[in-house]
């Protein structure tokens, strides 16, 4: 690219071409997913800022028994639009992979893995006696009266079994989901309605809560409001105090916020790859890190073993994990491993049997790509066995 700036050479487009209207589309997402805080208002989750050992390249290792045959780690990651990968084994970082446009230690948006982190905060508050999972939502948010949440419990919100009338229409700006994105300031035209105000208008579907797994992101933003209301603290401050500092995170994180400063708890967190892997390792260690119990071990056991198999089977994602379940905003694979997943290819995979944790951050073209997701599950399983 003759006369190009360093930015253009690295990413293939100019910085001023990235806008609120296109930041989640290719090729602009390759930069935007690492700089969400420059596009959407965000709150800082500060770390202690420790020195990180240098990256360990594992790109040439061959992964076997994939649906596509055998592939090197680099080959699979490149064709799945991966930006960064970190692998931990037995609590130690043993490998990293970085795309040319991703700097070592750079933060990256994790989309719906944010839900899994928000649920960890809920688990901490439950352990402190500040949040009752069996309590009605109205006990904490009386303003939810008249909405889909008016007769739901916190447990229904945690397990995505609220009978709520909204679809995850990621690509339709004129849908109710498009209005939701405006309320989060993620789409142009926001700032006229707050996230909380939007959530309180969501209607109910017929049928009982608790019967069907319905993946609906507004539930997790409501959980963010529940966490703030139950703790009396701002989300970012609570995350820093209860998780980020005890975890020993090496880098600051941040979370996007709406016009009132409410957190996008369902998808707005950005973290460095190794810090995301540290969250997975904490879960593998039963909620402990650095000699400290961060989230109760009983909550971790519940997260990785409980939940309704029937509700999962009635939902639309059972194809991904045929023997799986969903509990506390974490996916159980049904084969011992569990994970957090975000659109555009974000994965946090924990395999207790092999003591492996994998954090995979990506900028996939489509928000949801079911065939590729199945390939990624096979890759993560094979990688864990190999490591």
Q: How far apart are CA 328 and CA 115, in angstroms?
A: 9
Q: How far apart are CA 329 and CA 331, in angstroms?
A: 7
**SS3 call for 297:** helix
Nearest to 110 by CA among 321, 360, 375, 365: 360
Q: How far apart are CA 320 and CA 373, in angstroms?
A: 8
Residues paired with 122 in a beta bridge: none
For residues 250 and 290, the answer to whether their CB atoms sit within 8 Å is no
Tell me how far apart the terminal alpha carbons of the chain are, to the nearest angstrom.
40
CB atoms within 10 A of CB 171: 12
Q: Does an H or E element contain 270, and which?
A: strand 269-271
Query: What are the C-alpha distances in Å from 325 to residues 94, 134, 316?
Result: 30, 19, 12
Q: Count how many residues are written for the chain.
A: 387
Nearest to 163 by CA among 153, 172, 173: 153
Q: How far apart are CA 278 and CA 358, in angstroms?
A: 10
Q: Is 155 left (phi over 0), alpha (psi -120 to 50) or beta?
A: alpha
Q: How far apart are CA 65 and CA 71, in angstroms?
A: 9
For residues 361 and 276, the answer to whether their CB atoms sit within 8 Å is yes
Tokens 């059972």, residue located = 318
Known catalytic residue at 169: no
Q: What angle do CA 168, 173, 178 make, to 5 degrees?
A: 50
For residues 268 and 109, the answer to whether their CB atoms sit within 8 Å is yes
Q: Which of 112, 114, 116, 308 is catalytic?
A: 112
Q: Which residues have a catalytic role annotated?
A: 112
């Amino acid at each position: 690219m003759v006369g190009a700036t360093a930015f253009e050479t690295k990413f293939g487009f100019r910085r001023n071409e990235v806008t609120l209207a296109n930041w989640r589309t290719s090729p602009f997402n390759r930069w935007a997913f690492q700089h969400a805080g420059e596009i959407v208002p965000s709150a800082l989750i500060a770390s202690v800022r420790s020195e990180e050992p240098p990256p360990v390249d594992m790109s040439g290792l061959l992964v076997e028994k994939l649906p596509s045959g055998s592939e090197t780690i680099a080959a699979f990651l490149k064709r799945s639009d991966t930006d960064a990968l970190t692998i931990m084994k037995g609590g130690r970082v043993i490998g990293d992979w970085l795309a040319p446009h991703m700097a070592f230690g750079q933060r990256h948006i994790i989309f719906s893995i944010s839900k899994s982190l928000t649920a960890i905060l809920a688990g901490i508050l439950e352990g402190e006696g500040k949040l009752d999972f069996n309590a009605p939502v109205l006990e904490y948010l009386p303003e939810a009266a008249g909405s889909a949440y008016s007769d739901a419990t916190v447990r229904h919100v945690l397990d995505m079994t609220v009978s709520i009338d909204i679809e995850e229409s990621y690509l339709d700006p004129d849908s109710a989901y498009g209005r939701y994105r405006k309320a989060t300031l993620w789409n142009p035209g926001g700032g006229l309605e707050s996230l909380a105000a939007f959530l309180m208008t969501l209607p109910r579907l017929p049928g009982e809560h608790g019967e069907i797994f319905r993946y609906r992101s507004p539930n997790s933003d409501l959980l963010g409001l529940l966490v703030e209301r139950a703790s009396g603290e701002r989300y970012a401050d609570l995350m820093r105090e209860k998780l980020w500092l005890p975890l020993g995170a090496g880098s600051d994180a941040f979370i996007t916020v709406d016009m009132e400063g409410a957190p996008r708890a369902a998808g707005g967190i950005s973290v460095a790859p190794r810090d995301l892997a540290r969250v997975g390792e904490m879960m593998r260690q039963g909620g402990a890190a650095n000699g400290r119990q961060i989230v109760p071990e009983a909550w971790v056991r519940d997260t990785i073993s409980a939940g309704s198999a029937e509700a999962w089977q009635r939902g639309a994602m059972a194809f991904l994990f045929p023997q799986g379940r969903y509990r506390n905003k974490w996916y159980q694979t049904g084969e011992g491993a569990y994970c957090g997943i975000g659109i555009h290819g974000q994965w946090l995979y924990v395999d207790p049997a092999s003591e492996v944790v994998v954090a995979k951050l990506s900028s996939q073209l489509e928000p949801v790509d079911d065939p590729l997701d199945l390939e990624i599950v096979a890759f993560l399983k094979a990688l864990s066995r190999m490591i």
